[in-house]
Structure 1
């Protein structure tokens, strides 16, 4: 692809947006995370409804200026409207992508290289509404996070409003597991398990947490999502599909020392039962694990 001024600007913006790591921060006193996510989804949907009604009533000429104005009522914290045409040109934005207004962004990719704009435009060709998941800058905390954008085609315009999801990834899980293993080896069980069980200990972040299980007795030494489970024998516990997940983890830790176990489990960030993939590693007579969820 030949680089021109437009492509250089898009690439520069992408570099600036995605220079930060995909990190998450816990919030003291926050309501149930599942409720928060559902609330954000409802707010995004309501804002999209208002934007679509406005566009239908005022037409493109009377609407795009409002969608570009953060004081017009079409931006609310992390929720904002952005508008594309059917060729992938950014016509309006109240968020981090406002610098791209007037440019064709069909090939813009997120932090993981996903061509999410193309997916929105292509999706709008076959259905008037839908959603796309990707990684994008959250203006509320200036961090790149998982985002779902709802979109709707109105005439020749595609309106979209997104909301952010505190969902981890395999990369995040691996990094947290590495940190947990290092702490256990460096500081010993008492200090490490205490940190793993402490919501402020750095090992519990949204849907991601460290757990530790004894290989001989099958009991929790730590469970960041539910510290009250410490001391519980988990060997007979199965998931909703009947998978003896903890027996599988213990067997894997004994035989190979490391690996991944797949099952279904309640996601503490969404309060929904989702597919979970736990990375585990043996350290002496204990296995440490960190999981990440996938919605489908």
Structure 2
């Protein structure tokens, strides 16, 4: 797609993960057509930020280049408005799909007002109703994630522009209690069958097999209260967490240590940042004592 290099320069200031910033005024006011976004690198855990970046770029492109050129660009599945699981789709306020860069069933060019999600929710009507109330926002629904062939929660960010609802969605897979327990059991077995240093090094790898979507393994010393491992934040190793509190002011780690010492295993409830959504959410952590440390794996709920 043309203007790709210009796009990289024009979007650099706006592409901050999760910021939701608008494009610089100079980009919108330039004499040349608004640029398409540059292809981004590896998809990281800040999924909302990635979706926000693409939506910001799409809105700027539509405003500056007009509907016809923008829809052609958004529908180009090998172009700069599609990367990985992220793509732009555009609805008219009547439910007509003007563009869709990611749907394999060619929804673009059809009225999809009655489309429902995997749970039967009228997602298009909900999106249009939300846009009628507020020009910017988000809706949630359940949709098949083609990357893992699972029905997962998907959030679509949207902006109402010149009578069109421009949207970009992202998946936020949520581990179940059973999945958290399975990961904890695997971590316990790994620690028992390896040296502590080897196990902690494995748990500390954010790209390793003990970090899965919004789940990760952490280890804390029962006597000194110090992190031995944390897959989401390995830089915390060695930190004494006994004085740390959750977002509601609860001494969560002291409670975990107390549960592990008294019962050997259990569940602690608190509120914590979800690394997959960057939002503070309710978290439930399963803990188990292994020698002089506790291992924990949590799962999030809204």
Q: TM-score band, normalised by the shorter chain?
A: 0.5 to 0.7
Counterpart in the other structure of 1:41: 52
Aligned-partner Cα distance in 1 for 2:98–2:158:
14
Give the unaligned 5+ runs of structure 1.
Answer: 1-28
User: Would you say the 8 A contact 1:136–1:146 is kept in 2?
Assistant: yes
1:250 partnered with 2:257: yes
2:185 to 178, 181, 184: 181
1:227 to 222, 234, 249: 234
SS of the equivalent of 2:242 reads coil
User: Which structure's relative contact order is higher, taking Cα pairs within 8 Å and 6+ residues apart?
Assistant: 1
C-alpha change, 1:288 and 1:142, in structure 2 (3 Å) is closer
Aligned-partner Cα distance in 1 for 2:80–2:105:
13
C-alpha change, 1:203 and 1:276, in structure 2 (3 Å) is farther
Aligned residues: 254
Range 70-79 or range 210-219, more displaced: 70-79
Q: For 1:199-223, what per-residue CA distance to the aligned partner results, in whole angstroms no more than 9, with x for missing partners?
A: 3430124553211224454333321
User: Would you say the 8 A contact 1:82–1:160 is kept in 2?
Assistant: yes
2:271 to 240, 247, 263: 263
1:127-276 correspondence to structure 2 within 5 Å:
127-134=134-141, 136=143, 147-154=154-161, 157-164=163-170, 167-171=172-176, 174-185=178-189, 188=192, 190=195, 192-205=199-212, 207-253=214-260, 254-255=262-263, 257-265=265-273, 268=275, 274-276=280-282
TM-score, normalising length: structure 2: 0.64
Instruction: Give 1:99 shift.
Output: 2.6
Instruction: Give 1:162 shift.
Output: 0.8
Instruction: Give 1:39 shift.
Output: 5.1
C-alpha change, 1:152 and 1:183, in structure 2 (3 Å) is closer
SS of the equivalent of 1:199 reads coil
Q: Larger % of helix: which?
A: 1
Give the unaligned 5+ runs of structure 2.
Answer: 1-40
Instruction: Give 1:148 shift.
Output: 3.6
Aligned-partner Cα distance in 1 for 2:189–2:181:
12
C-alpha change, 1:193 and 1:94, in structure 2 (3 Å) is same
User: Would you say the 8 A contact 2:184–2:297 is kept in 1?
Assistant: no
C-alpha change, 1:273 and 1:75, in structure 2 (3 Å) is closer
TM-score, normalising length: structure 1: 0.65
C-alpha change, 1:82 and 1:247, in structure 2 (3 Å) is same
SS of the equivalent of 2:253 reads helix
Aligned-partner Cα distance in 1 for 2:78–2:236:
49
1:282 partnered with 2:288: yes
1:104 to 85, 109, 112: 112
Aligned CA RMSD, in angstroms, stands at: 4.0
Aligned-partner Cα distance in 1 for 2:98–2:267:
47
